[in-house]
Amino acid sequence: MSDFVDRVTVHVKGGDGGNGSAGIRREKFKPLAGPNGGNGGDGGSVIFVADRNATSLLDYRFMPHRVAGNGTMGLGDNKDGSKGDDLILPVPCGTVVFQARGAVGASKHPGEQLADLRHEGDRCVIAKGGAGGLGNIALANRTRRAPGFALLGEPGEERDVILELKSIADVALVGFPSAGKSSLIAAMSSAKPKIADYPFTTLVPNLGVVVAGESRYTIADVPGLIPGASEGKGLGLEFLRHIERTEIIAHVIDCATLEPDRDPISDYQALEQELALYADKLELPLGAIPIPERPRIVILNKVDVPEAKELAEFVKPEFEKMGLKVYIISTASHEGLKELNFALCALVADMRKEVAAREEAEEEARVVIKPLEVSGRRPRRADEGGNALEFTVERRELGNGEMFYEVRGAKPERWVMQTNFDNDEAVGYLADRLAKLGVEDELRRKGAKPGDEIRIGRGSRMVDFDWDPTISAGAEMLDGSNLGARGKDLRLSEQDGRAHRRTNTERRAQYHEMMDARAAVRDAMAAERKAGHWADPTIDDDRHDETSLFGRGEDVQSQEEANEE
């Protein structure tokens, strides 16, 4: 099994943001001294970084799921949660990141290009971490002085991406199978590719670093390039993309082949035709030289065979008439390799200067468009002569005749994810935000009526509810009086004696009321005693009462005295 992987699908997910805290400061004689809940920490992000020490995408094939760290929850005493750790993923230079397209469970194919990591240190945030939820100290204002809720952390961004490696090499070796490309790399560098005498021996691109004096450059071969490769025949289509980032194309031609209907000129023309067909499908990066404009050289290989050397000497003038530089070599005897090495080195140096100049020119010519500043007021609708709203409301109908209104937009969907629906006050806060944004006005304009089903968002994060526009918005007050507020704080209800701090006047009034009530009870008991409703236990009113200790005792003593007489 080869350890070279140049395309892989990876599932990445940013860390979830931590929830905010709804803590309340506790002080002596001040049970509700004010909010002190901190904000939740932001989740970490997944970041791809181009690293020259990475040579393959093999690690991502065996570990395709990568998740960044989550943020922690906020704490009391105004302590914010910690941020989740970013996940730094090294990839080889020349890696292109695509959005993965395809049905769930089916094979994915590249979609929109997200990043092109061509140079050492290039990085891109591919999955952002979720924002931490606000604590109640951040939600407090002049009217909402003691919020009994906090916002939940947002989930991190989650997506499938395709990593595609397009080798960055200075020289690309193209040629028919068994033309000697791998042998040439092994002879000019310290690379150890697999070499055999049968077609398609090389199943993966080989890279080699060549040293010429004080200069260095890289060479790569494109395995199995045959006629029809641009249409998927053989192995060529799978690895043709490795030519996109090279600066020089070197045709390695086998002059010792015994196959009929093949000669150096026809081999060269067939390879050029496949490159031309593939070039029409390319979207070259910034500053790249189109494939037809890249310099070509012809390498006539295997001249250690006498017949091959004669053939090479015969066809060399034909290639030179085409304006091509021709080098006659033998990877077996190393004939002509030194001359080829320094010639490629000089050509690479010239091409690097040209590519750098093109990139600089493209950067200067690039137009940077900055977004216009948007005021804090609600943007007008398109029919009002202004911009569109920050959300959309559409009426949807199901096949069974049911109907609902769908609300889509970055803000409403984000607010829904931040809301704890187990807390009435938090739900009321969400309703206030939606009303202030203009969602209710837009629902009325679309024809929504009380009781209609409303859905915000899609998928697993969708929330549905029945619309009730009769509830007016408002904010809860510190003394517990709800001025039309949606939701309530149980801590501020009248059943909880700690919810309301009494003033001195209220304390005096309550004290006088208690003393008056006690005096009234004493007067009532005295009146009842005077009326005979209450008996004095020291007076024996009924001597025949067996339950009376006094009466029972006197009866027993008098009976004993009578018996003695």
Fill in the DSSP letter of residue 499: G
Residue 184 near residue 299 (C-beta atoms within 8 A): yes
Q: Is 22 helix (H, G, I), strand (E, B) or coil?
A: coil
Residue 224 annotated as binding?
yes
Cα–Cα distance between 106 and 120 in angstroms, integer?
34
Residue 204 annotated as binding?
yes
Residue 463 annotated as binding?
no
47, containing H or E segment: strand 46-50
Minimal CA–CA distance to 258: which of 327, 176, 203?
A: 176
Cα–Cα distance between 47 and 229 in angstroms, integer?
34
Residue 306 annotated as binding?
no
Alpha helix (H) residue ranges in 446-503: none
Measured CA to CA in angstroms, residue 231 lies from 178, 228, 235, 279, 282 at distances of 21, 5, 10, 12, 14
Residue type, 132: G
Which backbone phi and psi does 128 adopt, to 5 degrees?
A: -75, 145
Residue 324 annotated as binding?
no
Measured CA to CA in angstroms, residue 67 lies from 46, 165, 558 at distances of 7, 22, 100
Q: DSSP states of 128-163 as a string? A: PPPPPPPPHHHH--SS--S-S--PPPPPPPEEEEEE
Residue 200 annotated as binding?
yes
Residue 281 annotated as binding?
no
Residue 180 annotated as binding?
yes
Cβ neighbours of residue 336 closer than 8 Å, sequence gap 6 or more: 303, 327, 328, 329, 330
For the beta sheet containing 95-101, the strands, ordered from the edge strand earlier in sequence to the opposite edge, are 65-67, 7-13, 158-165, 95-101, 109-117
Angle at 384 between CA 380 and CA 385, to 5 degrees: 90
Residue 223 annotated as binding?
yes
Q: Which residues of 151-166 are buried (b: 16+ CB within 10 A; e: fewer)?
A: bbbbbbbeebbbbbbb
Residue 452 annotated as binding?
no
Residue 162 near residue 241 (C-beta atoms within 8 A): no
Which backbone phi and psi does 237 adopt, to 5 degrees?
A: -60, -30
Residue 201 annotated as binding?
yes
Residue 176 annotated as binding?
yes
Residue 331 annotated as binding?
yes
Residue 36 annotated as binding?
no
Residue 203 annotated as binding?
yes
Residue 553 annotated as binding?
no
Minimal CA–CA distance to 127: which of 101, 97, 157?
A: 157
Alpha helix (H) residue ranges in 110-247: 136-139, 181-188, 236-239
Residue 42 near residue 132 (C-beta atoms within 8 A): yes
> Helices 410-418 & 424-437, crossing angle to 10 degrees?
170
CA 148 to chain centre: 30
Residue 222 annotated as binding?
yes
Residue 181 annotated as binding?
yes
Residue 202 annotated as binding?
yes
Hey, which residues does 12 pair with through a beta bridge? Answer: 66, 159
Residue 302 annotated as binding?
yes
Minimal CA–CA distance to 433: which of 446, 419, 445?
A: 419
Residues placed in the known binding site: 175-182, 200-204, 221-224, 301-304, 330-332
Residues placed in the known binding site for Mg(2+): 182, 202
Residues placed in the known binding site for GTP: 175-182, 200-204, 221-224, 301-304, 330-332
